[in-house]
Every structure is written in structure tokens, then in C-alpha cells.
Structure 1
């Protein structure tokens, strides 16, 4: 998909889909275009090779959501599936990536990557969640890698692995008894991120998030674990609210 700004508002002149993904335009919100990713069939299955390319051109504003959770399944083969999301955001452009969680089911294997290239003046809000196993079942094997470059320079390169054969993924130093995990990444050129890490959540049994600044002064990431996807989203929303309510961010926003 490709979003452009025509001088008045954002349009989506290119929206091409094939295979298990169907891309649908939603009603715009002001100058912001919106696209929903629909699942036309079960995917990703073992052996699938899936990719999604998103380009947000200069001054365009785009929100991408999904209609339902993405479910990784074993399928007819034990071969791993891959799902690559490639994102490019241009000067003074904005992307909100806000899909529903990914569910890793028993015996599935999925390798997911996100490659994000940002202009120095672009803005990104990216929320990702994973549910490890459906009710009463263990998860499959899920790996994710998130690589973010801003102005050609790396600001984040993160790799995670859950489910067998990943070591200690359900130990107390990683997920413990929790089944939902995810992160929220914020990059905003008019935002001065808090310089201290902060833990969000009073009761570890209900989940908690850690808000951490990145190398770039206008970027931060919140990583959370929780018993359920709903609690996970609440924690990530609380982390985002704290980031914008911190005194440092408020001072920068008033400049």
C-alpha cells in the first residue's frame, strides 16, 4: 500500500493485495487515511511466505489496522512460515500501525520481521501484541525481529523468541506465567522522551510494562507482559500516556 498527500488530504492511490490478505479502505479521519487488513483465508500456515509493504510519502498520514487477530497455524507441513512487514515513512509523514494481536498456536512455527525506515522528520506509533497459545494450549515457536532506522541510522534492532525450542522463554526472567506480550514504539520529532526507564503496573500478577528511551532523543519503546491481550493493551496505553504526561515531554511539546 502507498499513501500520498495531494495538498489537501491523504489518499491511498495504491492498494494491491493477493493471497490471504485483503486490504480495505476505511473512512478517513480528518486528513488521515485508514486501511484495514482483512484475512481472506487462514494464514500464516506452515510453509507460507507472506509480505506486506507500506509506503507513506511526504506529509501523508496513514493508519493501518486489522479486522481480527492473525493466527499462526501449523498447516499441512511442519516447515516454518515467514511474514515480513516492510515500512517506509517519508518526511513529515505519519504512520499508525495498530493491528490486532498475533496468536501462536500449538505446533506452528512463524518467523516474523519488521523493517522500518523513517525520515528524520517522520512520526511512527507502532503497537504489536502476541498471544502465546489459545486457551489451554501451549504456543508454537514464534520469533520476531524489529529493525528501525531513522535517517539511515539504526535506533532499534530487537529479536525475541518464544515457544520450544527457545530456551527459558517461559521462565521468570521472560514471561513467567503470562501468555500475552507486546510492545509499543513511539518515534516523534516534536517529542523529547523521558530519559529514565519506568515500570508500569503495580501488581506483577496482572502484568507490567517497562518504558525505555532509545538512542534517539525522540524515540522510546514500551515492552509489556500480561495474562490477557486486553490487559496487555491497557498496560501499553498507560505507558504511552505516561510518556506524554512526563514533565520533560510536556516542556518539549510547548516549544
Structure 2
């Protein structure tokens, strides 16, 4: 299955944000939720079919114009499934651009790597100098009491023309050591949050130590080499990850 979803958010003529493009194709359906407010517009991604499955080629394109404010969420977790044997891995490509003065918050539900899946998510975000970005990615390794399939995520976030964050993660039986101490250890869920130029509920001058979640060996907040912050958490399940990262997403 091939599908493209596209969102273009612009500043409305009389203030606020309007959606000049809101286009989805199953399984990537888009719905604006709630009325536009001065806090911006919210769009939810709705799964119109099962998957992603082997052979699927999916793409999400997001463009946020100057002074527009957009939040993208999803109504449910994304479940990567095996599909027919012999087909290539499923692929989801996400590309976002955020103009100067614009705000984009990407806060979807987790990706779940079901047993037997083979999936690759590739993300590229380009944020201009003066943009505000909040980018969250959560991954759950397998359903309840299930070993995961193979998932690879490749994320690149650029800010003001420079690479701010570049991260590759691979889990599953095709990746030796993914459940060892160097990657997830005993954890079965991982979440990352990238904020630029700062976390939404902390002024830029706040020391990084003051932003730390409650003391835990599996969560940390770190400054990036540039105007940004990275928060990451590993837990036995997504609830533990959410307990560390959710408070950092509140504006």
C-alpha cells in the first residue's frame, strides 16, 4: 500500500492559524480536532487500515509557515505488523519544515513493533532559526508478553541550518544486542523528546539539572549542541516512559 498525508499550516489573515492543506490517504487519514484558537490548530492522525505491513510505503509531509502554530497527534498507537512474507520492509517517511516564528509539536501515540514485523521509520525535520519545535517518538517492543519484530528508526532534526539531533535505533531479532546493556537492557519501551530552542514549560535559562524527571536510572534530560534539549527514557512499558516524558511536553 502506498499513501501520502500532507498538512500545510499558515497564519490566518486575521491572526491565529489556518490549514491550507489537509490531505490524507488510507491508512494515513487526517482530522482537525477542536476549533482553531490562539494556541494554534490540532490535527489527529487516524489509522484507516491495519499496519504498516510489509510492502507498505507511507509518507507524511508537514509544512508550518511563519507564525503558525500546529500540533499533530494520533488517536491510537501505530502497530507494525508482519504482512506477506517476501515483501520488502514497510517504510514510513516523515518530513517536516518549520518556518521562523512557527511552532510545531509532534506528539503521536507510540509505535508498537509486533512479532514478525519488519519496519523502518525515517524522519527529517528542518526548523528555521526562530522556530519552536517539540518532537516526540515512542517505541514499544512487542505487544503484551510478545517478542518484538524488527524496527529501525532514523531521525534527523536540523535547526537554523545545522544538524541538531541525529539518532538511529534498531530493535528486534535481526539486531544482536538490542536488549543488552548498551541499548535497552531489560526495557521494552523507549521514548525520546527533542525540544528547540527549549522545553515548553521551562525558560531557556533554566539549568538542565532542574529539568530532570524524578531520579531514575532510565531517564535523562541533556542539552544539545545548539539551541535544544533532548529527553530520553527507557522503561518496562510505555507507562514508565510516559511518567518521565509527559510532564516535559506540557506548555
TM-score in terms of structure 1 length = 0.87
Residue correspondences, number: 238
Give the one of 3, 14, 18 matched to 2:21: 14
CA distance in 1, matches of 2:234, 2:22: 34
Query: What is the deviation of 1:4?
Result: 0.3
- State how far apart, in whole Å, the 2-side matches of 1:83 and 1:197 are: 35
Please state which structure has a larger fraction of its residues in helix.
1
Which residue does the alignment assign to 2:120? 111
Instruction: State whether residues 51 and 79 of structure 2, in contact with CA within 8 Å, keep that contact through their aligned partners in structure 1.
Output: yes
Does the residue aligned with 2:85 lie in a helix, a strand or coil? coil
Deviation at 1:238, TM superposition (A): 4.7
1:209 aligns to what? Answer: 219
Aligned-residue Cα RMSD (Å) equals: 2.1
Alignment correspondent of 1:191: 204
Question: Which runs of 5 or more residues in structure 2 are unaligned?
Answer: 1-6
Does residue 228 (structure 1) correspond to residue 237 (structure 2)? The answer is yes
The separation in 2 between residues aligned to 1:58 and 1:238, in whole angstroms, is 27
Change over 3 Å in CA distance of 1:11–1:199 after alignment to 2: closer
Q: 1:1-255 to 2 correspondence within 5 Å? A: 1-7=7-13, 8-28=15-35, 30-31=37-38, 32-78=40-86, 79-188=88-197, 191-192=204-205, 194=207, 200-204=213-217, 208-216=218-226, 218-238=227-247
Report the 3-state secondary structure (helix = DSSP H, G, I; strand = E; otherwise coil) of the residue aligned with 2:243.
helix
Indicate how the Cα distance of structure 1 residues 184 and 34 shifts in structure 2: closer, same or farther if over 3 A, else same.
same
Answer whether contact 2:197 2:229 (CA < 8 A) is retained: no
SS of alignment partner, residue 176 of structure 1: coil
- Describe the shift of the 1:96–1:240 C-alpha distance in structure 2 as closer, same or farther (beyond 3 A): closer
In structure 2, the CA distance between the partners of 1:155 and 1:193, relative to structure 1 (3 Å rule), is farther
